Amino acid sequence: MLILMNPDHSKDDLEGVLEKVRALKLKPHVIPGATSVAVGITGNSGALDPREFTMLPGVRDAVPVTKSYKLSGRDFKHGDTIVKVGGYEIGGNGFIAIAGPCAVESEEQTIRIAKAVKAAGAHMLRGGAFKPRTSPYAFQGLGLEGIKILAKAKKETGLPIVTEVLDQRTLDQVAEYADLLQVGARNMQNFALLKDLGRLKKPVMLKRGLSATLDEWLMSAEYLLSEGNGQIVLCERGVRTFSDHARNTLDLTVVPAVKELSHLPIIVDPSHATGVRSRVAPMARAAAACGAHGIMVEVHDDPKRALCDGAQALSPEDFSSLMTDVNKITTALGRGPAATRAKK
């Protein structure tokens, strides 16, 4: 249920609505709008009677919200959510590029690649320190040491850090250093982790689960939003289908679908979606063309020796020409420069 307040409602009118919602043992969410205020209600298992609210002073209307996701949907918020990360804005008309190695392997490797992607036009540095690997025998990441290396790379280059938080145990360590905390595909439905991230005051990148529907994905975002964290960036990284010519199937139709249904920004990861270097740039260009708010691309300067995902890593040179193309595409679409510096 969404309660729409009259433009001339008083503070007491709004308080009366909030009290009413709390008396029903439900949770009110005040949503400021351009001309007035709305109050979203979550926590109800069945439909609410709109008359319970329309009779209250200062209330213009009470609209039932039929979708299972609420706070992440456009019914609850019409304008776009803009997530601010290290001075950059993700969402709206801007387009950001996150780039870096799959995994932090050493200080030299990370700083070298960070400088290269910065020179090529990346706005943020990615790199996994806690790695979710299919095999327990594969490189699991450098852990806290890797996080500290990322912090050094940030100091050297000024690039904000995007890195994965694997579990609740290491959440505090990651949150201390990361500018944007990545929830990987495998953790999209780790609800306990999502609840803890929801209580954090830091932006979260929520990757789409290996075979998650759009509804399931938005319900995971709902876990963060309902705990109070609305700084969410969705990331499409391909889903599993019957197709076996690529690592995953990049579902670009989800980009306009998300933009219709949700106010949250969505970026695209063409690296994990394709798994093959030669297909990364075409899909990244397509992501820019179909309206995504950014891309996240794996880059390595010695992919043969990469400890993880070498086959899908672009060289810094290839990443640089991709950035030239992406800038042309976003400019042609009237989206201005690739990234917008957030107003401080």
Q: Which residues bind ligand PEP (CB under 6 A)?
A: 102, 128, 132, 164, 184-186, 207, 237, 272
Looking at residue 75, the DSSP 8-state letter turns out to be T
Q: Least distance (Å) from ligand PEP to the CB of residue 167?
A: 14
Among residues 338, 342, 293, which one has the least CA distance to residue 320? Answer: 338
Q: Output 179 or 309, the one with its CB closest to Mn ion.
A: 309
Q: Least distance (Å) from ligand PEP to the CB of residue 98?
A: 10
Question: Residue 207: which of ligand PEP, Mn ion, none does it interact with, CB under 5 to 8 A by kind?
Answer: ligand PEP
Question: Residue 265: which of ligand PEP, Mn ion, none does it interact with, CB under 5 to 8 A by kind?
Answer: none
Q: Output 2 or 129, the one with its CB closest to ligand PEP.
A: 129
| Cβ 152 vs Cβ 143: under 8 Å | no
> Residue with CB nearest ligand PEP?
184
Tell me which H or E stretch contains 90.
strand 88-90
Question: Residue 164: which of Mn ion, ligand PEP, none does it interact with, CB under 5 to 8 A by kind?
Answer: ligand PEP
Question: Residue 236: which of ligand PEP, Mn ion, none does it interact with, CB under 5 to 8 A by kind?
Answer: none
Question: Residue 185: which of Mn ion, ligand PEP, none does it interact with, CB under 5 to 8 A by kind?
Answer: ligand PEP
| Sequence-distant contacts of 219-222: CB under 8 A, at least 24 apart | 219/68, 219/69, 220/188, 220/189, 220/191, 220/194, 221/69, 221/72, 221/262, 221/264, 222/69, 222/70, 222/71, 222/72
Binding mask of the shown chain, residues 198 to 227, with x at each position contacting Mn ion by CB under 5 A: ------------------------------
Cite the DSSP H helix spans in 233-299.
Answer: 254-261, 270-274, 277-289
Cite the DSSP H helix spans in the chain.
Answer: 11-23, 51-54, 107-120, 144-157, 171-177, 191-198, 214-226, 254-261, 270-274, 277-289, 316-332
Q: Least distance (Å) from Mn ion to the CB of residue 336?
A: 30
Q: Output 70 or 208, the one with its CB closest to ligand PEP.
A: 208
Question: Residue 141: which of ligand PEP, Mn ion, none does it interact with, CB under 5 to 8 A by kind?
Answer: none
Q: Least distance (Å) from ligand PEP to the CB of residue 177?
A: 16
Q: Output 40 or 184, the one with its CB closest to ligand PEP.
A: 184
Q: Output 77 or 237, the one with its CB closest to ligand PEP.
A: 237
| Cβ 142 vs Cβ 152: under 8 Å | no
Q: Which residue has the tokens 């976003």?
A: 330
Is beta strand 27-32 parallel, antiparallel or unpaired with respect to 37-42?
antiparallel
> How far is the C-alpha of 171 from the C-alpha of 129, rounded, in Å?
12
Q: Output 230 or 303, the one with its CB closest to Mn ion.
A: 303
Phi, psi of 81 (to 5 degrees): -80, 130
Q: Which stretch binds Mn ion (CB under 5 A): 14-22, 41-49, 96-104, 170-178?
A: 96-104
Please list every residue from 98 through 117 that binds Mn ion, using CB under 5 A: 102
Q: Output 39 or 299, the one with its CB closest to ligand PEP.
A: 299
| Sequence-distant contacts of 138-146: CB under 8 A, at least 24 apart | 138/308, 139/103, 139/307, 139/308, 141/103, 141/104, 142/103, 142/104, 142/105, 143/170, 144/170, 144/173, 146/103, 146/104
Q: Least distance (Å) from Mn ion to the CB of residue 57?
A: 55
Binding mask of the shown chain, residues 269 to 308, with x at each position contacting Mn ion by CB under 5 A: ----------------------------------------
Does 309 bind Mn ion (CB under 5 A)? Our answer is yes
Kindly list the residues in this chain that would bind Mn ion in the complex (CB under 5 A). Answer: 102, 309
